[in-house]
Amino acid sequence: MSTHPSRPSYAAVLRVPHARRAFTAALAARLSYGTVSLAVLLSVTRATGSWAVSGLVLSLFGATTVFLMPLRAALLDAHGPRRALLPMSVLYGALLTVLAVLTWRPGAPAAAVAAAAALAGCCAPPLGPVMRALWSELVADRALLQRAYSLDGVAEELLYVSGPALVGGLMAVAPPAAGILLSAALNTAGTCALVTSPAMTAPRPAARAERQPARVRGLLPPVAVALAVGLALSSVELLVTAFATERSYDPALVPWVLGALSAGSALGGLANGALRWRTTARARLYRFAAALGLTLAAAALAPGLWTLTGVMALAGAFVAPALTTAYLLADESATEATRTRAGAWVNMAVNTGSSGGAMAMGLLIGRVPLEVCFLLAGGVAVLPAVVAGRRIRDAPAVL
């Protein structure tokens, strides 16, 4: 545990004993999740010559990765990360290697490729929940823990931005399947460094003694908000593209608009961690979700792409705070025996929303006015706050 000033800095988070090594190792391993999706998509397309097959393979990989995450997290809670995390990562890396070998050259059998991808997703270690559970063990003070979660969330978002760029650079000198090998190597090497770090202690006696799965209580608020944020954000990607197409803007400008959303999220996450809030985590959670939804709804009034870019940057300022607070609230609701699983449920909710939102909005665009689509995307994010609004009796947030 660490001592720190009344307003702890982000440097104070990294000065917590053993935190820097564990965090660096976890980021290296989690970078693999920023590289693997694009690498799988491009390598399978090249190997099979079919976008339909590559889409199916990527969907299978994503589904097994996301929906089985709570189960893998339960194994970690039951047996401890030292015993369960590294074998999980080694098996995941081995299956990714098989997938890379199958797709290295054109002519790969689609059934074998799909099976390898699905099995690899079944074994993907839940590194984000593991690191957040570890932060909770390393940091006793809740204010410093909030800052640690904010730092973790912003760093993770940057990994998902830099991962595809890394794959693109690698493709200049190697086939796309090399990106799958890189993902396997990053995950296994980073996980090995994490589990051998001094911060990764053996399971506590209470968690080790518990043989029956413990129920995770109090997760509905963070899971509901995480699901809503995922739904809204995946809708935004399609909405911005449709907005640019409808108004005859250059499609090359779309990534800049989405980049403004990511930049706003990073800045909002850092600001959220820097502030000392006096309201409860649950109250902040609903308020961040409501602010995100109202800002997205306001995008319906944007007269042009540059105004939309500014609105997206403002909306992004509430994304990381909402997700960080969801993880923080899940941690508060968990016991020692369920901490990793609690974070995994929030993680699963975000990813499930990301998949479902894109599908639903894809069906709506072109059938209803774009302004209505923006309102619906915003309404999804506001909904959890509206449902729970009558229960919140906290005073306004002050520093």
Confidence of residue 344 (pLDDT cuts 50, 70, 90): confident
| Terminal CA-CA length for the chain | 25
**pLDDT above 80 for 292:** yes
DSSP 252: G
Confidence of residue 394 (pLDDT cuts 50, 70, 90): very low
Minimum mean pLDDT range among 282-286, 307-311, 321-325, 387-391:
387-391
For 173, the 3-state DSSP assignment is coil
Confidence of residue 186 (pLDDT cuts 50, 70, 90): very high
Checking phi first, is residue 216 left (phi over 0); if not, alpha (psi -120 to 50) or beta? beta
Minimum mean pLDDT range among 21-30, 198-207, 305-314, 324-333:
198-207
Give Cα separations from 113 to 178, 211, 245, 371 (angstroms): 15, 36, 35, 41
**pLDDT above 90 for 203:** no
What residues have CB less than 8 Å from 46, skipping those under 6 apart? 103, 106, 175, 176, 177
Give pLDDT, residue 252: 78
Between 287 and 143, the more confident residue is: 287
Between CA 63 and CA 65 the distance in angstroms is 5
Between 235 and 398, the more confident residue is: 235
Between 208 and 301, the more confident residue is: 301
Give pLDDT, residue 393: 43
Give pLDDT, residue 206: 45
Tokens 């990073």 found at: 266
Share of the chain above pLDDT 90, in %: 33
Confidence of residue 187 (pLDDT cuts 50, 70, 90): very high
* pLDDT tens, residue by residue, 211-227: 444 556 677 888 889 99
Between 107 and 357, the more confident residue is: 107
What does the block give as tokens for 240?
């911005």
Give pLDDT, residue 2: 40
DSSP alpha helix (H) spans, the chain: 10-14, 19-48, 51-67, 69-79, 81-102, 110-123, 127-138, 142-170, 177-195, 205-209, 220-246, 254-274, 281-298, 305-316, 319-333, 339-364, 370-388
Share of the chain above pLDDT 70, in %: 90
Averaged pLDDT for residues 201-217:
49
Averaged pLDDT for residues 204-215:
46
Closest CA to 243 of 307, 304, 315, 310: 304
Confidence of residue 398 (pLDDT cuts 50, 70, 90): very low
Q: What is the mean pLDDT of the chain?
A: 84
Give pLDDT, residue 141: 81
Confidence of residue 8 (pLDDT cuts 50, 70, 90): low
Confidence of residue 309 (pLDDT cuts 50, 70, 90): very high
Q: Give bridge partners of residue 365 from the DSSP assignment.
A: 368
**pLDDT above 80 for 376:** yes
Between CA 40 and CA 342 the distance in angstroms is 29
CA dihedral 58, 344, 73, 10 (to 10 degrees): 110
* pLDDT tens, residue by residue, 92-124: 999 999 999 999 988 889 999 999 999 999 999
Between CA 10 and CA 268 the distance in angstroms is 14
Confidence of residue 178 (pLDDT cuts 50, 70, 90): very high
Averaged pLDDT for residues 375-389:
83
**pLDDT above 60 for 174:** yes
**pLDDT above 80 for 172:** yes
